[in-house]
Amino acid sequence: MALACLGLFLALLLYALASGTFQQQRQQQTLAATAQEETERLAKLKAQLLRIESGKASAAGFLDPRSGTAIGNTSGVRYITMPPAPLGTLSVGLGDLHPYFYKLSLRSKSFTLNNEELENPLNLLSGPFDLAFGIVILFPLFLIALNYNLLSAEREQGTLALILSQPISLKALVTGKVLVRGGALVVAAVAVTLAGGLLFGAGAAVFPRLLAWTAIILLYGLFWMGLCVWVNAWGRSSATNAIALSAFWLGFCLIIPSALNIAASALYPIPSRVEMIQSLRTAGKEAQEQGSRLLSRYLEDHPEFAPAPAPGAPPAPAPDFGSITYAVQMEVDKRTEPVLARFEQAIAQQQAFVDRLRYLSPAVLAQGALNEFSGTGLARYRGFQLQAERFHRTWQQYFFPKIFQKAKLTSGEIDTLPRFRYQEESLEAVVARSAPLLAVLTLLSLLAGGLSLASLRKFKRSL
Amino acid sequence: MIRTIAKKEVVEALRDGRFRWAAGLVGVLLLIALAAGTRQFLDLRAQHEAAKTETRAHWLQQGKKNPHSAAHYGVYAFKPKTALSLLDQGVDPYTGVAAWLEAHKQNDFRYKPAQDANTLARFGNLSGAIILQALIPLVIILLGFSAFAGEREQGTLRQLLSLGVPPTQLAWGKALGVGVSLAMIAVPAALLGSAALVFAGSNGDYGAAWPRFAGMAASYVLYFVTFIALSLAVSAWMKTARGALVLLLGFWVVNALLSPRVAASLSQRAIPAPGAFQFARNIELDLARHSDGHDAGKHTAKLLAGTLQKYQVTKVEDLPVSFVGIRLQDGEAQGNQAYDARYGELWNQYERQGRLQEALGVVAPFLAIRSASMGFAGTDFSQHRHFAAAAEQYRRYFIDVINQDIIQRAGNQGVYLRGQDLWSQIRDFEYELPGAGWVAQQRALSLAVLAGWTLASLGLLLLATRRLRLE
Amino acid sequence: MLQALNLSKAYGNQVALDSLNLSIAAGEIFCLLGANGAGKTTTINLFLNFTAPTSGQALVDGLDVIQHPLESKRRLAYIPETVMLYRNLSGLENLDYFASLGTQQKYTRSQLETFLQRAGLAPDAATKRIGAYSKGMRQKVGIAIAIAKQAKVLLLDEPTSGLDPAASNEFSELLTQLSREGVAVLMATHDLFRAKECGTRVGIMKRGRLVQTMATSEIGHTELEGIYLEHMRN
Ligand SMILES: Nc1ncnc2c1ncn2[C@@H]1O[C@H](COP(=O)(O)OP(=O)(O)O)[C@@H](O)[C@H]1O
Ligand SMILES: [Mg+2]
């Protein structure tokens, strides 16, 4: 029975690892495909410009291929990509909902940075079957299955009194039993984690992260083992123990998180995206209506970008379509900023509330810490989003002056187009964020361990 | 006799502290979930309706402009909330809430609510559906695991059988007892749920909601009966109550916890679907292929030549129709072909993944009830697709009206502007949810699987009681 | 009333009961004596149709228990070593439940109270939950069930073992009273004294065989003990 349990646990963890690897590989393939597409497209663009520059091809057409509009918006755009999480194979975390690449454009931020991965919503609803799930949700279940009748089975068979009449302390007996049974599961979990991390993780950089995973598994396992001993020390029947432990599991893994989620949504409601869309549209419409006025205002602010009139030529003609469009895009960004900011603030507030209360459940703590050390936590995705926003501005600022000045890009400039480089967050930042999680998890494990030992003492007295 | 047995079971359940706690907790959770669901539904529907009016107003009030520019401005299609979504949100948090309908392109639904949710939301969303699909079975297990095994351990089973109580009657009585105990939690919630439904649906799809509500209720009854019969059968089969409990909890874990994730990961592998990048790239390549390779100029020239020949003229200026309009319409036709093919393929892949998961309901009835429940709630993928297809239909309709206007009236010289008279010629987007019959047809597999489970578990119960063991 | 015809039962190649022939008339109390493992419980289980015989027939009121599993049970009441009842129900509720299942009819509360009274249960104990009952009280509820059922046959499996002498005596008196009303009683017991006191006949069983039967009126206490020990010795 115990061996079958262990085997099943191991099999599930291995499947979880395989499934996590599958997800990670899909991401890697996508990133490789974006890189390839970008390289090919830019090479083609460069060749085209070279041909135009050497007079072998004409630049005529609806849009000059050398114009900032054509290059900055379509033919020369780059991808903003974030490399896969260092331990993404172990935990999908927020990776299945949050974008890890964007295709640039010169249009507004809300338009450009609005990439969503395509996935069957049914699969998103089910959630990923990754190692983190195996550890946070399944691991305690297996611990419970092996330990729920530590003492009650002995008593029900009538062997407890016999054992206790031997010169062995109850504490030694119970700790021995629980450590052997729980230890086997812990070893299995750590082994699969290390194997997965070393085989599929991002090189030597993952060592400290794997160490953290191991620590979390140990602490979390200790917590549940302590709980099992404590419940056994109540001295109830095996069936009651099983029910009580299942109730704890249900409470920590489902009910507390859900209740917090409901409370968070009620206390800090997130304004609707539907409303946001409307606000963005209104802002866009207003900006559009003021189009040409905006451009002249922009050029008043930045006279250096005004196209230089040819000497002796009549005054500059009416601003062109491209210039107006981008002046409008900038205005849209400016006007929608408060709408988006309000939205992000509401999300941040709700998250802050949840962050304050997540200490109520060790399962939530463990999941949070595992995600952090895998690189699939919220902070890393937020960080990427901010970097992307910054780079999107850089991109606009590179092209807008060229568009306003009606400048033509040269083939040489194609190689020097701004390039996004993802700044991976430092390990210190990860540690700093997860330190309180680990601290409280340690505290809870110690508490559960202490409680179980104290209750054993009482149990013996009442025997 | 069955009534006597059931009554005693209920009395015993009510006196059992464990049941009182569990029932109280589940009852309270169900009420909270219903309240939260109702509130959310009302908020969302109000927003949806406001947005729908507003997007129409934006459309009508866009002033004088070129019709094609209006087509680019486009409208938004907002996915409506069904009243039953307050019970079961289904995949709604994971599909976007709105799609932008504009010229040239079929856009995806954007802004998944799940993306904005806090990090706990993925942990467990305490919706009415999760309580009904996962927690109530736990309560049933709690009520049923000791029904026979416990009596066997207590010795009362010998006593009962010595009285000449037929084991099958005993089984029906106990099943009824569990059912009645369960009803004490479920009925108040169901009444409140119906009240919420009447309240929520008071202006709108209220009429349409009732057949769907009935379908949903029937599916849940099948699911609960399955669990009751299974619990009792296991209890009759296993030697000890402890053994029965552990076996049933194990089944619960497989059913409610493992099956959805394993089914998702299996179906992703069995029926691969492209990611966002691959999908967009495929369409890009298709479109390029449709317009004569990458040479748009050549295609346009061919189109122009064809048009000139058709109207027997030699110059664009002499055409009785607008060539710009003809080119736009030609582009739409090519685009539609590509979008139809690619979206059709993608959505078929999703539906096949879904169907595979429904079929896996043979192993875990959770998969079947989940799909049936969200089907009737109007929140499954099939109905998302139904809506998306209707929105796309509308997009094609209004782009076509605009392009025809351009073709017929824009001429081939100068600036062509239109105003509200054209904008208001285009009817507003109205969407009608398919009926319960359509849902039953779509979800036939799940319903069949559920019925199969019910029959099989009842058969198992009969078998186990026929061979009821005393020790 | 109770009849065993060549009744045999074997578990694998171990014979638990070896061609038992026994007939117990209404108003008779037959006490089955024998060491542990002699086959007493097996005999009772066969009459209850809890186990199927390897060969032979068990009849209750002339009905074969296999062909008429429910009809035969309607006529009998069974009291095991400890009458097992529902812990969460009171004595009265337990009686109500078992009586209505056994007889398919609903008794009023006062009727039920009368049954318990006849069985000798103190009125204030009737409404207490079984959890607080002593073994003697449980046995009385068992008797009350038999009374309510108006059983023609009582099957008792060591009903008094573990009871204190006073309770045991009280129990025997109840049996005697019931047999006077025409109930046939088959009681497995280790208590030679009780068997002699209230039984009309005793049978000694050894390794599945009924080796001797005698009427209690024909022998004395010491004589019975002598015979019993004699059988056990060889
Ligand atoms: N279910 C069973 N399986 C195998 N052997 C059994 C079973 N029940 C009883 N026996 C055997 O049958 C014999 C008679 O047992 P039993 O009727 O319980 O004896 P008694 O009640 O007289 O103490 C014993 O040897 C016992 O081991
Ligand atoms: Mg016996």
CATH number at residue C47: 3.40.50.300
Q: Which of A236, A273, A365 to mutate to test the interface with B (most CBs of B within 10 A)?
A: A273
Residue appearing with tokens 């005697």: C176
Are B81 and B49 a contacting pair, CB within 8 Å? no
Q: Among residues 41-80 of chain A, which lie with CB inside 8 Å of chain B?
A: 61
H or E stretch including A138?
A: none
Residue appearing with tokens 């099999």: A11
Compute the 3-state secondary structure of chain B and give helix, strand, coil in percent, each to the nearest 5: 75, 5, 20
Per-residue confidence band for B68, with pLDDT thresholds at 50, 70 and 90:
confident
Report the pLDDT value the prediction gives residue A315, as an integer from 0 to 100: 45
Contact (CB<8Å) C48/B161: yes
Contact (CB<8Å) A116/B96: yes
Copy the structure tokens of residue A4. Answer: 């079958």
Number of domains in chain C: 2
What is the rounded average pLDDT of the residues B283-304? Answer: 73
Highest mean pLDDT among A303-317, A432-446, C211-225: A432-446
Give the residues across from B418 on adjacent strands: B65
Per-residue confidence band for A143, with pLDDT thresholds at 50, 70 and 90:
very high
Last residue of one domain, picked from the residues C128, C150, C172: C150
User: What are the C-alpha distances in Å from A360 to residues A151, A258, A430, A437, A451?
Assistant: 28, 12, 21, 11, 17
H or E stretch including B441?
A: helix B436-442
Among A75, A65, A68, A70, CA closest to A103: A75
Q: Among residues 238-257 of chain A, which lie with CB inside 8 Å of chain B?
A: 238-240, 242-243, 246-247, 250, 253-255, 257
Number of domains in chain A: 1
Highest mean pLDDT among B311-315, B425-429, C100-104: B425-429
The tens digit of pLDDT for each residue in C43-64 reads 999 999 888 999 999 999 999 9
Are C77 and C103 a contacting pair, CB within 8 Å? no
H or E stretch including C185?
A: strand C184-188
Sequence-separated (6 or more) residues with CB below 8 Å from residue C97:
B4, B8, C86, C89
Residue appearing with tokens 């691969």: B272
Question: Do residues C101 and C166 share a domain?
Answer: no
What is the rounded average pLDDT of the residues B212-217? Answer: 90
Last residue of one domain, picked from the residues C150, C182, C197: C150
Evaluate whether residue A164 is within a structural domain: yes
Are B433 and B205 a contacting pair, CB within 8 Å? yes
In A322-439 the beta strands, taken as DSSP E runs, fall at none
Instruction: Using the mean position of ligand 1's atoms as its centre, give its distance from the Cα of residue C16 in Å.
Output: 6
The residue whose CA has the least distance to atom 24 of ligand 1 is: C37
Copy the structure tokens of residue A192. Answer: 């699969």
Highest mean pLDDT among A147-161, B123-137, B217-231, C128-142: B217-231
B75 or A330, which is more confident: B75
Evaluate whether residue A272 is within a structural domain: no
Instruction: Pick the range with the lowest mean pLDDT from A59-73, B166-180, B387-401.
Output: A59-73
- Render the burial of B176-199: b for 16+ CB within 10 Å, e for the rest: bbbbebbeebbeebbeebeebbee
Evaluate whether residue A121 is within a structural domain: no
Q: With a 6 A CB cut-off, is C50 part of the ligand 1 pocket?
A: no
Contact (CB<8Å) A125/B94: yes
Among A237, A217, A287, CA closest to A441: A217
Q: Which residues of B touch C77 (CB under 8 A)?
A: 162
CA distance B52 to B391: 13
Q: Which residues of A touch B246 (CB under 8 A)?
A: 145, 242
Residue appearing with tokens 């290390």: A194
Question: C154 — phi, psi (to 5°)?
Answer: -115, 130
- Terminal-residue alpha carbon distance, chain B: 24
Question: Do residues C169 and C54 share a domain?
Answer: yes
User: Is C229 a residue whose pLDDT tops 80?
Assistant: yes
Q: Which residues of B touch A142 (CB under 8 A)?
A: none
The tens digit of pLDDT for each residue in A9-56 reads 999 999 999 999 988 999 999 999 999 999 999 999 999 999 999 988
CB atoms within 10 A of CB B427: 10
Quick one: which atom of ligand 1 is closest to the CA of C44? 17
CA distance A90 to C116: 67
Report the pLDDT value the prediction gives residue A318, as an integer from 0 to 100: 47
Sequence-separated (6 or more) residues with CB below 8 Å from residue C15:
C8, C9, C207, C208
Among C57, B390, B120, C60, CA closest to A265: B120
Quick one: what percent of chain B has pLDDT higher than 70? 96
Among A139, A24, A42, A43, CA closest to A89: A24
Per-residue confidence band for A314, with pLDDT thresholds at 50, 70 and 90:
very low
Question: Do residues C119 and C65 share a domain?
Answer: no
Last residue of one domain, picked from the residues C150, C176, C192: C150
Residues in chain A: 463
Q: Which of C80, C104, C155 is facing B155, going by the closest CB pair?
A: C80
pTM of the predicted model, to two decimals?
0.90
Residue appearing with tokens 């589940």: B26
Domain range spanning residue A175? Answer: 132-261+442-462
H or E stretch including B6?
A: helix B2-15
Among A232, A274, A237, A258, CA closest to A143: A232
Report the pLDDT value the prediction gives residue B294, as an integer from 0 to 100: 47
CA distance B145 to A417: 69
Q: Which residues of A touch B124 (CB under 8 A)?
A: 253-255, 257-258, 261
Evaluate whether residue C81 is within a structural domain: no
Give the residues across from B78 on adjacent strands: B98
Strands C14-24 and B98-101: unpaired
Work out the burial of residue C69: count CB atoms within 10 Å of its CB; fewer than 13 is exposed, 13-18 middle, 19 or more buried: middle
Sequence-separated (6 or more) residues with CB below 8 Å from residue B414:
none
- Render the burial of A257-283: b for 16+ CB within 10 Å, e for the rest: bbbbbbbbbeebebbbbbbbbbbbbeb
Question: Do residues C29 and C126 share a domain?
Answer: no
CA distance A73 to A91: 35
Report the pLDDT value the prediction gives residue C200, as an integer from 0 to 100: 93
Are A96 and A124 a contacting pair, CB within 8 Å? yes
CB atoms within 10 A of CB A442: 16
CA distance A177 to A155: 15
Are B412 and B322 a contacting pair, CB within 8 Å? yes
User: What are the C-alpha distances in Å from C184 to residues B281, C5, C26, C54, C56?
Assistant: 91, 17, 4, 25, 21
The residue whose CA has the least distance to atom 8 of ligand 1 is: C42
Copy the structure tokens of residue B136. Answer: 């109530």
Whether chain C lies against chain B with 3 or more Cβ pairs closer than 8 A is yes
Quick one: which atom of ligand 1 is closest to the CA of C40? 22
Give the residues across from C11 on adjacent strands: C14
Evaluate whether residue C8 is within a structural domain: yes
The tens digit of pLDDT for each residue in A91-126 reads 999 888 899 999 999 888 888 888 888 999 999 999
H or E stretch including A427?
A: helix A427-462
Copy the structure tokens of residue B362. Answer: 């043979």
Contact (CB<8Å) B119/A378: yes
Sequence-separated (6 or more) residues with CB below 8 Å from residue A12:
A134, A138, B258
Q: With a 6 A CB cut-off, is C13 part of the ligand 1 pocket?
A: no
The tens digit of pLDDT for each residue in B240-260 reads 898 999 999 999 999 999 999
Residue appearing with tokens 């649906």: B201
CA distance C206 to C232: 8
Q: With a 6 A CB cut-off, is C154 part of the ligand 1 pocket?
A: no
Evaluate whether residue C82 is within a structural domain: no
Residues in chain C: 234
The tens digit of pLDDT for each residue in B29-64 reads 888 888 888 888 888 888 888 888 888 988 898 888
Q: Which amino acid is at A142?
A: F
Question: Do residues C56 and C42 share a domain?
Answer: yes
Question: Do residues C104 and C202 share a domain?
Answer: no
CA distance B398 to B396: 6
Instruction: Using the mean position of ligand 2's atoms as its centre, give its distance from the Cα of residue C80 in Å.
Output: 9
What SS3 state is found at C204?
Answer: strand
User: What are the C-alpha distances in Å from B296 to residues A62, A459, B302, B303, B327?
Assistant: 11, 85, 10, 11, 11
Question: Do residues C157 and C229 share a domain?
Answer: yes
Evaluate whether residue A229 is within a structural domain: yes
H or E stretch including C115?
A: helix C109-118
Domain range spanning residue C56? Answer: 2-75+152-233
Per-residue confidence band for A316, with pLDDT thresholds at 50, 70 and 90:
very low
Among B285, C206, B241, B256, CA closest to A239: B241
Report the mean per-residue pLDDT for chain B: 88
Q: Which of A273, A276, A354 is facing B119, going by the closest CB pair?
A: A354
The tens digit of pLDDT for each residue in B83-131 reads 888 889 999 999 988 888 988 888 888 888 888 888 888 777 788 899 9
Question: Do residues C167 and C216 share a domain?
Answer: yes
H or E stretch including B359?
A: helix B323-359
HEC string of B318-338 equals: HCCCCHHHHHHHHHHHHHHHH
Quick one: which atom of ligand 1 is closest to the CA of C43? 17
Sequence-separated (6 or more) residues with CB below 8 Å from residue A116:
A99, B96, B108, B110, B112, B115, B276
Are B234 and B145 a contacting pair, CB within 8 Å? yes
Report the pLDDT value the prediction gives residue B108, as an integer from 0 to 100: 84
Q: Which residues of A touch B247 (CB under 8 A)?
A: none
Minimal Cα distance from A5: which residue of B?
B250
Alpha-carbon gap: B465 to the closest alpha carbon of chain C (Å): 14
Instruction: Using the mean position of ligand 2's atoms as its centre, give its distance from the Cα of residue C210 in Å.
Output: 15
User: Is A154 a residue whose pLDDT tops 60?
Assistant: yes
Question: C28 — phi, psi (to 5°)?
Answer: -95, 150
Report the pLDDT value the prediction gives residue A116, as an integer from 0 to 100: 82
The tens digit of pLDDT for each residue in A264-298 reads 988 998 887 777 887 877 877 777 777 656 666 65
Are A248 and A451 a contacting pair, CB within 8 Å? no
Phi-psi region of C58 (alpha: psi -120 to 50; beta: other; left: phi over 0): beta
Sequence-separated (6 or more) residues with CB below 8 Å from residue A210:
A87, A193, A194, A197, A198, A201
Question: B3 — phi, psi (to 5°)?
Answer: -65, -45
Chains that touch A (3 or more CB pairs under 8 A): B
Instruction: Pick the range with the lowest mean pLDDT from A162-166, A219-223, A225-229, C107-111.
Output: A162-166
